[in-house]
Chains A and B, each alone.
Chain A
């Protein structure tokens, strides 16, 4: 197991290095530079050149990259040109907010998606299946950002039962119930699409497993149907659902970009959108790196969980 994890981590290294080169390249290709954003409307070519010189952005690109990479190896992510603070500070602050949001959404979509998928497979063609299928289809057919706006309109403005935006109340608050109240709308909005995807896959996986010989064996043993479905079929189906959840983690983190913008969640997605538009190259670089590493780790975790569930994969 340990060797497997190490091997997987080693595989991830070129992916992450390659990604950082690509990000650097893309940022270099985008017209405009951080000086533009710093200077705003007062950016004359002369001023831009002066600030670029001050920030060391007039050096050749590959030189900038290696300086960045060298510093990174010593744990230094550099300094954000725009925010004028260490990139790592900003990322840690923002990333923890994203972890809360995306984590909640991921738990929500996994639990709801699996539940809906299993129920819908077990009651195939029954009314529960139809209702679940309908909801799942609605979920994967609605633009989530639009749904988020409607949620704000309904729950925050119209009924005033939930806060419209932010992560904590601005004054007072800051405790767990406060966080949960702020979390409900964005987490639900973010989870909707992934719930649909997971539910569909769970349903299909369950139906496939229910046809397997070992399920017939379980029935031939005289096991009650509940045990056949939940102990035998579900465990086997879970093995193919877990990696899907891993991939969905990527989508949830991606979708967080919209949701964080709509709900003013102080997360890394909204930060990166902003950093791309202000050409804050080191911040973009650091942020994408952290997200990519998280994605790799989540998928590694999914694989480990899968291997724990399925002893065949270990050998």
Chain B
């Protein structure tokens, strides 16, 4: 922990720098920041600006129109200068909005932290209290609070703050519950820290981004609500102006002097809009998922932008040929290759293994074959994939879709996340069939049951209506395989199909794949990190490291005489039964240079 603390300041400062640049890169957020800065600056400089006294009345000179002499935005019903009142009013509204947010954030966060950390009775009581606040219509609550405290901007501020406590309490509690059971909190507890110390030194720093995000997204809302209360006459006391009371005073003149209410209305709009834009920007920067650009919509097919495209060879070929494939990821404005120069072939009925540690690029390779790499950020930047001699990437989107699940089918790693959680497994298999065949629903269901029997699911007739979460891991993967078999594909690409399963189940699934391959003459591209699996299943194997194939050959040859150092390490990592301590002894020297 101390080590982590020592490194924190540095990471924070770099993070802040990049956050700023990220924020400014977001054009809308930057525009919001600019507008807000201009409004804020003008409001801040109000005492020194050459504007009339905002409270100086001159009823004889009332309701002057916009652009009249001496009054750029005209005058209100008491002859006061609207521009001056607008500037001073904005100042008040911003101050109230910010303070209300700060108060709500403070109280709400404390409630959320305590509630999420303590759990049990405390949590229950606090959260029921929050429920009460939520069930009380917010304006009426604010109204009642102001009625008790008396009118005035400060009391309206308290009312708005109280009404908004639940937002913070609920958000913060949600995050805290997750954090409270984490190891570092347990560690701190064991080290004898007090609960308060743990909350404020361990939990709070991790909750802070959530608080900031909630604040940035509620400030605008708070300003609107304050305006609402002032509009009802419960906010600023005359002659002081705030945007809401200007709006409230101006509404009675809506029919004969609309500018008196439209101007403050537009100001509220500009202010809140700029805050919301900026708030969105802040959220994008602070939310790790958004920051990684993970929340962009992936296209149906990976984007192609091939700089190199090998010529189409002639003559009879293997069923799958990959030549000089390069897939890159966009990082900001740069494009970074993830896999490079990947070439291999897969013959009919053959099993080809693609092996490498995680991050070596084997999954990206597998997904690239049918353009399934999420895009953005993925782009296929070079090479070609030919199926039965035809370039996949030259096909149209529909053309590629026609291959998916029909000629080429995928089996993915974790069937819990790769099966749709809300549809019954039978529906999901039937859907795969219906995507490529025009048959009736009943027939599709019958075929789905047949497929489930085929992959060894007992009582398929009943299990067909089960949801994925009602099945065991092995059964789920069998469903995944049944789905892949739905349209009698020629090629199955199995991306770590057994990694998420126990060893015994793993063996059964591999047997199943092997049987199906033999029976149907399938070509199998097996992606794994386990040389044991390769040895058992594959005719040939390619070893990947850092996005490139470092060695390729017949499985037996590679196993017998690995040419690459990395291959040797991978082979050595396969333990044999009964080897025990000797295994570790034999592996240790191989990694000696990696971990000094």
Q: Which residues of A contact B (CB under 8 A)?
A: 11-12, 14-16, 18-19, 22-23, 26-27, 29-30, 121-122, 124-125, 137-138, 140-143, 145-146, 149-150, 153, 157, 204, 206-208, 210-225, 227-228, 232, 235-236, 239, 247, 250-251, 253-258, 269, 272-273, 276-277, 288, 291-292, 295-296, 309-312, 315
| Majority secondary structure, A binding face | helix
Please, how many angstroms separate the alpha-carbon atoms of A212 and B295 in the complex?
11
Which B residues are CB-close (under 8 A) to A212? 417
Residue in contact with B295 in the complex, picked from A141, A207, A236, CB distance below 8 Å: A207
Task: Determine if A143 and B228 form an interchain contact, defined as CB atoms under 8 angstroms apart.
Answer: yes
Q: Which residue of B lies closest to A262 (CB)?
A: B251
**B431 in the interface, Cβ–Cβ < 8 Å?**
yes
Can you name 9 A-B residue pairings with CB atoms under 8 Å? A11-B128, A12-B131, A30-B147, A124-B296, A149-B251, A206-B297, A211-B298, A255-B139, A273-B140
Q: Which 5 A-B pairs have the closest CB atoms?
A: A222-B404, A222-B405, A292-B135, A141-B273, A254-B137
Task: Determine if A269 and B140 form an interchain contact, defined as CB atoms under 8 angstroms apart.
Answer: yes
Please, how many angstroms separate the alpha-carbon atoms of A250 and B133 in the complex?
11
Interface residues of B in 486-545 (CB under 8 A from A): 486
Please, how many angstroms separate the alpha-carbon atoms of A35 and B139 in the complex?
25
Please, how many angstroms separate the alpha-carbon atoms of A126 and B414 in the complex?
33
Residue in contact with B128 in the complex, picked from A18, A146, A228, CB distance below 8 Å: A18
Residue in contact with B436 in the complex, picked from A23, A222, A269, CB distance below 8 Å: A222
Q: Which residue of B lies closest to A295 (CB)?
A: B135
Task: Determine if A220 and B298 form an interchain contact, defined as CB atoms under 8 angstroms apart.
Answer: no
**B294 in the interface, Cβ–Cβ < 8 Å?**
yes
A213-B418, A221-B486, A269-B139 known, 11 other contacts, Cβ within 8 Å: A16-B135, A122-B297, A124-B297, A141-B273, A142-B269, A212-B417, A216-B374, A217-B420, A222-B436, A269-B140, A310-B421
Binds A, one of B78-86, B102-110, B253-261, B331-339: B253-261
Most buried by B among A23, A143, A157, A269: A143
Q: Mark B242-276 against chain A: 1 for CB-CB distance below 8 A, else 0.
A: 00100100010011001001100100110011001
- State whether A309 and B422 are in contact (beta carbons under 8 Å apart), knowing that A137-B273, A143-B268 are contacts in the complex: yes
Task: Determine if B295 and A208 form an interchain contact, defined as CB atoms under 8 angstroms apart.
Answer: yes
Residue in contact with A288 in the complex, picked from B137, B148, B409, B417, CB distance below 8 Å: B137
- State whether A219 and B404 are in contact (beta carbons under 8 Å apart), knowing that A141-B269, A269-B140 are contacts in the complex: yes
**B210 in the interface, Cβ–Cβ < 8 Å?**
no
Most buried by A among B132, B137, B145: B137
Q: How many Å from the CB of B17 to the closest CB on chain A?
A: 26
Which B residues are CB-close (under 8 A) to A232? 420
Task: Determine if A218 and B469 form an interchain contact, defined as CB atoms under 8 angstroms apart.
Answer: no
Most buried by A among B128, B132, B401: B132
Which A residues are CB-close (under 8 A) to B374? 211, 216
Task: Determine if B418 and A149 form an interchain contact, defined as CB atoms under 8 angstroms apart.
Answer: no
Most buried by B among A220, A235, A253: A220
Q: Which residues of B contact A (CB under 8 A)?
A: 128-129, 131-132, 134-140, 143-145, 147-148, 220-221, 224, 227-228, 231-232, 244, 247, 251, 254-255, 258, 261-262, 265, 268-269, 272-273, 276-277, 289, 294-298, 300, 367, 370, 372, 374, 401-406, 409-410, 412, 414, 417-423, 431-432, 435-436, 467, 469-470, 483, 486
Task: Determine if B137 and A311 form an interchain contact, defined as CB atoms under 8 angstroms apart.
Answer: no
| Majority secondary structure, B binding face | helix
How many CB-defined contacts (below 8 Å) exist between A and B?
214
Q: Which residue of B lies closest to A124 (CB)?
A: B297
Task: Determine if A145 and B231 form an interchain contact, defined as CB atoms under 8 angstroms apart.
Answer: yes
Task: Determine if B372 and A216 form an interchain contact, defined as CB atoms under 8 angstroms apart.
Answer: yes
- State whether A18 and B420 are in contact (beta carbons under 8 Å apart), knowing that A141-B220, A211-B298, A213-B412 are contacts in the complex: no
Which B residues are CB-close (under 8 A) to A150? 262, 265
Q: How many Å from the CB of B279 to the closest CB on chain A?
A: 10
Please, how many angstroms separate the alpha-carbon atoms of A308 and B569 in the complex?
50
Please, how many angstroms separate the alpha-carbon atoms of A207 and B287 in the complex?
14
Please, how many angstroms separate the alpha-carbon atoms of A211 and B297 in the complex?
7
Most buried by B among A23, A207, A216, A217: A217
Q: How many Å from the CB of A285 to the closest CB on chain B?
A: 12
Task: Determine if A143 and B265 form an interchain contact, defined as CB atoms under 8 angstroms apart.
Answer: yes
Task: Determine if A143 and B224 form an interchain contact, defined as CB atoms under 8 angstroms apart.
Answer: yes
Residue in contact with B422 in the complex, picked from A19, A124, A207, A311, CB distance below 8 Å: A311
Please, how many angstroms separate the alpha-carbon atoms of A142 and B220 in the complex?
10
- State whether A207 and B296 are in contact (beta carbons under 8 Å apart), knowing that A141-B220, A257-B140 are contacts in the complex: yes
Task: Determine if B231 and A138 form an interchain contact, defined as CB atoms under 8 angstroms apart.
Answer: no
Q: Which residue of A lies closest to B407 (CB)?
A: A222
Please, how many angstroms separate the alpha-carbon atoms of A15 and B289 in the complex?
36
- State whether A295 and B134 are in contact (beta carbons under 8 Å apart), knowing that A220-B410, A310-B422 are contacts in the complex: yes
Please, how many angstroms separate the alpha-carbon atoms of A146 and B267 in the complex?
12
Please, how many angstroms separate the alpha-carbon atoms of A204 and B406 in the complex?
32
Q: Which residue of A lies closest to B427 (CB)?
A: A231
Task: Determine if B228 and A258 form an interchain contact, defined as CB atoms under 8 angstroms apart.
Answer: yes
Task: Determine if A217 and B412 form an interchain contact, defined as CB atoms under 8 angstroms apart.
Answer: yes
Which B residues are CB-close (under 8 A) to A23? 136, 144
Q: How many Å from the CB of A134 to the closest CB on chain B?
A: 10
Task: Determine if B147 and A216 form an interchain contact, defined as CB atoms under 8 angstroms apart.
Answer: no
Please, how many angstroms separate the alpha-carbon atoms of A38 and B270 in the complex?
44
Which B residues are CB-close (under 8 A) to A14? 128
Please, how many angstroms separate the alpha-carbon atoms of A26 and B159 in the complex?
13
Which B residues are CB-close (under 8 A) to A272? 137, 140
Please, how many angstroms separate the alpha-carbon atoms of A257 and B273 in the complex?
24
Task: Determine if B220 and A236 form an interchain contact, defined as CB atoms under 8 angstroms apart.
Answer: no
Which B residues are CB-close (under 8 A) to A296? 135
Please, how many angstroms separate the alpha-carbon atoms of A40 and B582 in the complex?
97
Which B residues are CB-close (under 8 A) to A211? 294-295, 298, 374
Which A residues are CB-close (under 8 A) to B409? 220
Residue in contact with A258 in the complex, picked from B139, B261, B421, CB distance below 8 Å: B139
Q: How many Å from the CB of A148 to the closest CB on chain B?
A: 10
Task: Determine if A276 and B128 form an interchain contact, defined as CB atoms under 8 angstroms apart.
Answer: no
Q: Which residue of A lies closest to B432 (CB)?
A: A221
Residue in contact with A236 in the complex, picked from B139, B148, B421, CB distance below 8 Å: B421
Task: Determine if A22 and B132 form an interchain contact, defined as CB atoms under 8 angstroms apart.
Answer: yes
